[in-house]
Every structure is written in structure tokens, then in C-alpha cells.
Amino acid sequence: MADLSEMNIKQFVEELASPSPAPGGGAVAALSGALGAGLVSMVANLTIGKKGYEEYSEEMERICSEAETLRNDFLNLFEEDTEAFNEVIEAFRLPKGTEDEKKIRKEAIQHSLQKATLVPFRTIENGYKLLKLTEIVARIGNKNSVSDAGVAAVMALSAVKGGALNVWINLVSIKDKQFVKDYSTKVEDILPKAEKLAESVLLDIKKNI
């Protein structure tokens, strides 16, 4: 399979729909974030230097820079999610004929599952950061693009929720209780804040359309 980033949209969707379990929901969550970040940059760029928005140009330039950083991070996570899942599959395929092999296999599985948890957790963190940017561009960005800011918020929340689902499914199989507790707590801290922020952004946008 070619690198996901090298596929066109049609090829990626066809690969997504295939019987192969990867790419899957984690990659889609990261891609949602990248799309949202792209929209935030677009709204910011459509605001910079425009008549009536001069006072916000410096802020929009900062937001555009942050959104571009997030977009690149999301695209990296888009690739890393599939790579991490493939490492889990490879660990499960290790030989288990002897006690030593069983031990090595067990350790490899647990290590790969933890790695596969960290990738979507970064998607969650980035999604929440992006939501904070959507709030600003929705409020002071070019009003002709306010609906685009709203779609960006939807995509950012999808990244958060999609990342959370992928963290949870991996935690089920991880034996390290402290790791499970730590990341369960982190997700439970971010998720409601992200949902509340997205709801607030979308309600404000609806009032102003």
C-alpha cells in the first residue's frame, strides 16, 4: 500500500472501504483535524488585510501560523495511526511456540498497544487546540466565511471524539493499570471541554448567520 498522503481522495476512500483494517477510524480522525485546520487557515487568510478587519490582521496571522502547525501535525498523525496499528498486528503475529517466544510476543503486543494509544491521544490534544482557534476565527474572522469556521469546529470535534474512541479501544487490552488510568483520566478531562466549546462555537455562528 502506498503512503496515505500520496493517494488522491478517491484512492484513499477506496482503501478505507477495503477489507483491510487499516487505515481506519484513527486515520480518519486525524484527517478530520487536518481538514479543520485547513479551514481555519483559510478563514484567517480571508481576514488578513481585508477592509473592516484591519485591527485583527496581526491576530489572524498568529492563528494562521498555529493552524498550519496543527495541520502538519494532523497529517503526520494520519500516517502514524496506520503505522502504529500495523505494528500491533505484527506483534500478534510473532511466534509463540516456546515460553521465551510467548514472553517476547506479550511484551511486543503491550508495547505496540501503548504506542497505538499515544497516536490518537495526540489527535485529541490537537483537536482541542484547533477548537480554540475556531472559536476566535468564528468571532472576529471574515463574516463571509463564518460557516467555514463552523465546519472547522465540527471537524476539530470529530478529531477529538474519533481520537477518544481509538484510545478507549486500545486501553481495553493494555495490562499496565497506571497507563490505563492515566490516559482514561486525560481523555475524560478533555472530551467534555471540547464538546462544550464546539457547541458554544456553533451556537454563536448560528446566531450570526
pLDDT tens, residue by residue, 36-91: 999 999 999 999 999 999 999 999 999 999 999 999 999 999 999 999 999 999 99
Mean pLDDT of 172-179: 98
CB count within 10 Å of CB 144 equals 11
Is 79 buried (19+), middle (13-18) or exposed (0-12) by CB count in 10 A?
Answer: middle
Task: Report if residue 156 sits inside a domain.
Answer: yes
Long-range contacts of 176-184 (CB under 8 A, 24+ apart): 176/110, 176/114, 179/114, 179/117, 183/117, 183/121
Is the predicted pLDDT of residue 200 greater than 80, yes or no?
yes
Percent of the chain with pLDDT over 90: 88
Task: Report if residue 163 sits inside a domain.
Answer: yes
pLDDT digits (tens, 9 = 90+) for 157-169: 999 999 999 999 9
Task: Report if residue 145 sits inside a domain.
Answer: yes
Q: Which residue has the higher pLDDT, 1 or 107?
A: 107
The pLDDT score that the predictor gives to residue 141 is 95
Task: Report if residue 9 sits inside a domain.
Answer: no
- What's the CATH code of the domain at 144? 1.20.120.680
Please give the residue range of the domain that contains residue 137.
24-208
Task: Report if residue 3 sits inside a domain.
Answer: no
Is the predicted pLDDT of residue 205 greater than 60, yes or no?
yes
The one-letter amino acid code at 77 reads L
The three cell numbers of residue 172 are 481495553
Task: Report if residue 161 sits inside a domain.
Answer: yes
The pLDDT score that the predictor gives to residue 7 is 83
Mean pLDDT of 12-39: 92
CB 155 within 8 A of CB 167: no
Report how many domains make up the chain.
Answer: 1
The pLDDT score that the predictor gives to residue 20 is 82
Task: Report if residue 82 sits inside a domain.
Answer: yes
Task: Report if residue 2 sits inside a domain.
Answer: no
